[in-house]
Homo-oligomer: A and B are copies of this chain.
Amino acid sequence: MHAFSRQEMDCIKDCLDCHKICLGLAMTHCLDEGSDHIAPQHFRLMMDCAAIRATVADFIMHKSQFHRQMCALCAEVCQACAMDCQHLAGMEECVAACRSCAQVCRTMA
């Protein structure tokens, strides 16, 4: 993977880590807890977050000419997810991952 800079590798790693945490918590903790954890607008945001991070990672691996715009949008989605999750019990790992991913994506953008 010599073709990728340290910054690109970090961004791919952060996006895939966050994808894993977001989707993994949504499918276990959120579904098991119910109540606010599965409020439609909250749960959809978790799914958006998981989906866009996988796509951002793919765009960087593609050496896409559009990766900056995709990173900028991903940072927004992550920020919104972090803010939504911080009011819910047991989502600390998701909040931290979203904030970290938002920062890395903003730097890339």
Contacts and interface: CB of A to CB of B under 8 A. Distances in A.
A51 interface: yes
Find the residue from A32, A48, A52, A76 having the highest chain B CB count within 10 A.
Answer: A48
Q: Kindly report how many copies of this chain are found in the complex they form together.
A: 4
A92 to B, nearest CB: 11
B62 A51 contact: yes
Chain A interface size range: 35 or more
Interface in A8-54: 12, 16, 19-21, 23-25, 27-29, 31-32, 34, 38, 40-41, 43-45, 47-48, 51-52, 54
Interface of A: 1, 3-4, 12, 16, 19-21, 23-25, 27-29, 31-32, 34, 38, 40-41, 43-45, 47-48, 51-52, 54-55, 57-59, 61-66, 69-70, 73, 76-77, 80, 93
